[in-house]
Chain A
């Protein structure tokens, strides 16, 4: 079987003071090849934990991740990761960052050079190849991170709030870029976000998670990602269904947030 399957995943963190946090409880999910799924939920509901387990950075207390049929143990080049920020290598030029994966795999410039240049062109950084990372804006840095991930040919791309640190305008452009890359490369993508609009725009499937313990609350299948490919995303947002879904999900998340507040008030 190809694709990604998450089976009965649970994660408990034992804290030094003796108590424990149930970050995830019995999460199951199948992702077909080429699917784009966004994950939404109030903060602390275990989104990052879920992604870190899929990436192999954390071992779950229960359950298993299967990738193309085999169980996942630890990080691997088949699962690429794009972080919110700070994961680029400042001591390398833009181009060396992008070619990091192929270089670590022992490939030669002749093998990867052309493709790396092509990727830099796709993300619009062909004129910044030899620049240092700290000379780039936040949006450009995220484009480097995307290109670096793609240059390594992962089967699945995991993104943890990749656009969270960008300003609104840059963010919109980057959303289009993500859609474009998804369509062109046909990669399976999981994208965590805390913006409902972004989750709607960048998800064929949208997973809403609930906190304490972290679990799947609801799942949607949405047409907007397909609509958005090659289109102005502002047009997509005008779609009558878009506003309806946005209100529905916003309400859902607000209810959860209120519940969290209520509970913590009780506790105090």
Chain B
């Protein structure tokens, strides 16, 4: 029944969360530890009594807690250190590295039996090579007895079947079977831990060697920071999928700006009309209030059906994403004007149009800027999502295609760039806000 399935999903999620708890606790521990170290260093540097600590309780006063830049710096540094440590990065000193996968030559012995033969032992020598390199199996002496020594080569993080019977005097036809590895009994489905890995046995009795993986992430899961950086340099100069990086990002940004500007051009006058006329308000309220909670992502399929996957469809989508936000912001800006300001303007002799121009419009600017910041954020998120679904160029398309080829370094590079650009957009909007509506939040 679907309901039980759903419950099972919940249980799995719950178990995952519980398993994550120790790691979360450890992370919080690191935060508190660095805090204590920071305080200690600060106290050493400023022997005087710090009266700041006598500050009264400041709950609920947002301005009372400013961001500690040292904490920000350590936090970012820690992310990169952990990233480097778990990918064996060259940027991180090797004593910080998490144990890596086994690389080198290792061996184990197996005991084989065959019909009418005494059990015999032979050695398997395996060369484990680093990812990206190729290695030949080492040369080994066949050794004595009817079971001969074997050799093979396997890439780190991989595993390989080893047909030890192939070179033995008696093969499977003669009833060759392996009964023990390193002296420990083994049967199909079982496995034996060896010094540098694990030997398993397939249902048909073939040995399978998995070299020890260690704690580091495989590059196809998580590439090292320098790998992402070099991929960034490569794509910045050579491009990806026929377009340079700049071209991909410019396409995404162009779509956002075009959609946002169209949305603002229509949305702001619409919001003003709704704020000033009850007829317009009544007319558009149901439309706006219904469309606003519809996530723009949900419109992607319809927009693709109607307008295809070209620029037009994307701009329409982003226009719709920005439109309602801007309309509601402008409406709030107009309705939010203090009646005393309008009254004051009237008794100073201003006409209706003058009040519109000199009071209502400027008074609504802070709200409109807040809306614009939200709209830009939503548009940026929406364009990336739309490009993930269907596009020929763009940041989202780049990471989506890369993911299909398991080019994780491009995916991570793309995510970082998308984040940086989104952050940059918000910073620019804030700067514009500070320059154009300096009175915002100060009344």
Residues of B contacting A100 with CB < 8 Å?
A: 345, 348, 350, 358
The verdict on B438 contacting chain A, using a C-beta distance below 8 Å, is yes
A104 touches B350 (CB 8 A): yes
Would you give the shortest CB distance from A179 to chain B, in whole angstroms? 22
Within the assembled complex, what's the spacing in Å between the Cα atoms of A86 and B437?
A: 17
Q: How far is the CA of A86 from the CA of B345 in the complex (A)?
A: 12
Chain A residues within 8 Å of B341, by CB: 86-89
Query: Which B residues, 341 to 365, have Cβ-Cβ distances below 8 Å to chain A?
Result: 341, 343-351, 354, 358-359, 362-363, 365
Bound complex: CA A132 to CA B438 (Å) = 9
Which residue in chain B gives the minimum CB-CB distance to A151? Answer: B348
Interface presence of A101 (CB below 8 A) = yes
B340's contact among A86, A91, A133, A148, by CB below 8 Å, is which? A86
Closest-by-CB residue of B relative to A74 is: B346
Decide yes or no: A80 and B348 within 8 Å by CB, A55-B343, A91-B439 being known contacts. yes
Residues of chain A touching chain B, judged by Cβ–Cβ distance below 8 Å, are 52, 55-57, 74-77, 79-81, 83, 86-91, 100-101, 104-105, 132-134, 148-149, 152, 154, 158
**How many Å lie between the Cα of A83 and that of B438 in the bound state?**
23
CB of B204 within 8 A of chain A? no
Establish whether residues B348 and A132, one from each chain, have CB atoms under 8 Å apart when the complex forms: no
Given contacts A105-B349, A134-B443, contact A87 B354 (CB under 8 A): no
Distance between Cα atoms of A91 and B438 in the complex (Å): 8
Closest to A100 in B: B348
Chain A proximity of B351: nearest CB distance (Å): 7
In chain B between 232 and 287, which residues have their CB closer than 8 angstroms to a CB of chain A?
none
For A83, give the chain B residue with the smallest CB separation: B340
Q: Answer whether residue B48 sits at the interface, using C-beta atoms and an 8 A cutoff.
A: no
Give A158 to B354 CA distance when docked, in angstroms. 22
Instruction: Flag if A77 contacts B347 (CB, 8 Å).
Output: yes
The smallest beta-carbon distance between B143 and chain A, in angstroms, is 90
Within 8 A of A (CB), among B293-315: none
Give me 28 A-to-B residue pairs in the complex whose CB atoms sit less than 8 angstroms apart, sorted by A's number.
Answer: A55-B343, A56-B347, A57-B346, A74-B346, A75-B347, A77-B347, A77-B348, A80-B347, A81-B343, A83-B343, A87-B341, A87-B343, A87-B344, A89-B345, A91-B362, A91-B365, A91-B437, A100-B345, A100-B348, A101-B349, A104-B345, A104-B349, A104-B354, A104-B358, A105-B349, A133-B439, A134-B442, A148-B348
Residue from the list A56, A77, A86 in contact with B338, Cβ < 8 A: A86
Determine the distance from Cα of A176 to Cα of B13 in the docked complex, in whole angstroms: 72
Q: Which residues of B contact A88 (CB under 8 A)?
A: 341, 344
Known: A76-B349, A91-B439, A154-B347. 13 other contacts (CB 8 A): A57-B346, A75-B346, A76-B347, A80-B348, A81-B343, A83-B340, A86-B338, A86-B341, A87-B338, A100-B345, A100-B348, A100-B358, A148-B348
Once the chains bind, are A91 and B363 in contact (CB under 8 Å)?
Answer: yes
Residue of B nearest to A77 (CB): B349
Chain A residues with CB under 8 Å of B347's CB are: 55-56, 75-77, 79-81, 154, 158
Contact partner of B343 (CB less than 8 A), chosen from A75, A76, A77, A101, is: A75
Q: How far is the CA of A117 from the CA of B343 in the complex (A)?
A: 24
Residue of A nearest to B350 (CB): A104
- A91 nearest CB neighbor, chain B only: B362
Chain B, Cβ-Cβ closest to A153: B349
Kindly report which residue of chain A lies nearest to residue B441, judged by CB atoms: A134
In Å, the complex CA distance between A166 and B113 comes to 102
B367 CB to nearest A CB, Å: 13
Q: For A77, what are the chain B residues with a Cβ–Cβ distance below 8 Å?
A: 347-349
Distance (Å) between the CB of B346 and the closest chain A CB? 4
Residues of A within 8 A of B354 (CB): 104
In contact, B362 and A152 (Cβ under 8 angstroms)? no
Please report the C-alpha to C-alpha distance between residue A86 and residue B363 in the assembled complex, in whole angstroms: 12
- Name B439's contact: one of A55, A76, A101, A132 (CB within 8 Å): A132
Pairs A-B, 7 closest by C-beta atoms: A77-B349, A90-B439, A75-B346, A134-B442, A91-B362, A101-B348, A87-B340
Closest A residue to B351 by beta carbon equals A104
Identify the closest chain B residue to A81 (Cβ). Answer: B347
- How far, in angstroms, from A75 to B355 measured CA to CA in the complex? 13
Q: Which residue of A lies closest to B349 (CB)?
A: A77
Within 8 A of A (CB), among B84-126: none
Docked Cα-Cα span, A211 to B341, in Å, equals: 28
Whose C-beta in chain B lies nearest to the C-beta of A133?
A: B439
Q: 8 Å CB contacts to A: which residues of B128-186?
A: none
Q: Which of B401-443 contact A (CB under 8 A)?
A: 437-439, 442-443
Chain B proximity of A259: nearest CB distance (Å): 31
Q: Does A152 contact B348, Cβ atoms closer than 8 Å?
A: yes
A72 to chain B, nearest CB (A): 11
A103 to B442, CA, bound (A): 26
| Chain B residue nearest to A154 in the complex (CB) | B347
A75 to B344, CA, bound (A): 9
- Interchain CB contact under 8 A, A90 and B443: yes
Which residues of chain A come closer than 8 Å to B443, judged between CB atoms?
A: 86, 90, 134
